[in-house]
Amino acid sequence: MTKTAWIFPGQGSQKLGMAEDLADLPQAQSYFEKAEKILGWSVLDLCQQDETQLNQTLYTQPCLYVIESILADLLTQQGQTPQMVAGHSLGEYVALYAARVFDFATGLELVQRRATLMDATAGGKMVALIGFKREELQQELDKNSDVVLANDNSDAQVVISGTPSAVDELLTHIKAKRALPLNVSGAFHSPLMASAAAEFQTALDGVSFSEATVPVLSNVNPTPSTSSEELKSRLVQQMTGSVRWREIMAQMAREGVEQVIEIGPGQVLTGLFKRGYSQISRVNVSRFADLKSVVE
């Protein structure tokens, strides 16, 4: 059997129409109905009609969670099972659901609370950097605690996060092939999210986690774990901690993963694997029609 990891993308991968071929699927109807009761609005309608609203954190995160969870369960119904899972930022919640750490509704309620808190946090800035010198970047980060490495995606791609003045100051001291400001309301995955993280802790405290059915590699600690307590602790740290995706990929390679299946819209994560670990085969399941491409 091919050793396979399921990976789940986060905010930024969403696109209008991403639920299109799930809309009339009988297996998906109960998910959309449960989601509408919890959220108070229709994921299907939003994904098909309003791109501006879909791109707002408050709506993006629940929509991605619902779509990716449906696709993961459809794979499971086909008899597919991963040997480990991981998700990028918001995607970690889907990874935990796929590992049966919590049920669909519980995960969506956590994601809704997370999205609400993050959407309400203002005053920060995030910029993606492509093509830079890592040592030079680290030296500048060490000089200013108001800007941090938020997403360490690969050797050549990262995201910095912090106060607008600190981010802008850092950018004047490093050379990058591209520096792309992200359209977000706050400095996600940085200490500036501490107050939101503290409020989110209350929501997590009221939820019981189960032992994971397969190992989960967390954003803040890219080592496999099935411990319910450990996985909950890591999730608490995620809002203020860095997404260590570069290390997650390296760990999967060390664990002997032969194939990754990116479950959700886009090909961001498989693209990172292609550039850094081309020996690991890659499959994308962005919609129902892609399920037939998944083979043992």
At residue 292, the pLDDT reads 82
> pLDDT tier at 19 (50, 70, 90 boundaries)?
confident
> pLDDT tier at 173 (50, 70, 90 boundaries)?
very high
Please count the structural domains in the chain: 2
| C-alpha to C-alpha distance for 268 and 9, rounded to whole angstroms | 7
261 pLDDT higher than 70: yes
Taken in order 70, 75, 79, 83, is the CA torsion positive or negative? negative
Q: Are residues 164 and 259 in the same domain?
A: no
At residue 115, the pLDDT reads 94
Instruction: Tell me how crowded residue 123 is: count the other CB atoms within 10 A of its CB.
Output: 10
Q: Are residues 139 and 87 in the same domain?
A: no
Q: Choose one of 136, 164, 181: the last residue of a domain.
A: 181
Q: Which domain holds residue 169?
A: 125-181
What six digits make up the tokens of 85? 């899972």
Q: Which of 189, 190, 218, 242 is catalytic?
A: 189
Residues 210-217: what's their mean pLDDT? 98
> pLDDT tier at 69 (50, 70, 90 boundaries)?
very high
Q: Are residues 112 and 145 in the same domain?
A: no
* Domain harbouring 176, CATH code: 3.30.70.250
* Domain harbouring 92, CATH code: 3.40.366.10
Q: Each residue of 282-295: pLDDT tens digit?
A: 999 999 989 887 75
At residue 145, the pLDDT reads 92
| C-alpha to C-alpha distance for 41 and 39, rounded to whole angstroms | 5
Q: Are residues 244 and 260 in the same domain?
A: yes
Q: Are residues 91 and 236 in the same domain?
A: yes
| C-alpha to C-alpha distance for 108 and 65, rounded to whole angstroms | 7
What is the chain's mean pLDDT, rounded?
94
Q: Are residues 27 and 97 in the same domain?
A: yes
At residue 296, the pLDDT reads 47
235 pLDDT higher than 90: yes
Q: Which helix (H) or strand (E) holds 260?
A: strand 259-263
Active site residue 189: yes
Q: Are residues 137 and 282 in the same domain?
A: no
Q: Choose one of 149, 181, 213: the last residue of a domain.
A: 181
Q: Are residues 257 and 273 in the same domain?
A: yes
| C-alpha to C-alpha distance for 265 and 259, rounded to whole angstroms | 18
At residue 295, the pLDDT reads 58
Q: Which of 13, 69, 88, 89 is catalytic?
A: 89
Q: Choose one of 156, 181, 206: the last residue of a domain.
A: 181
Q: Which helix (H) or strand (E) holds 94?
A: helix 91-98
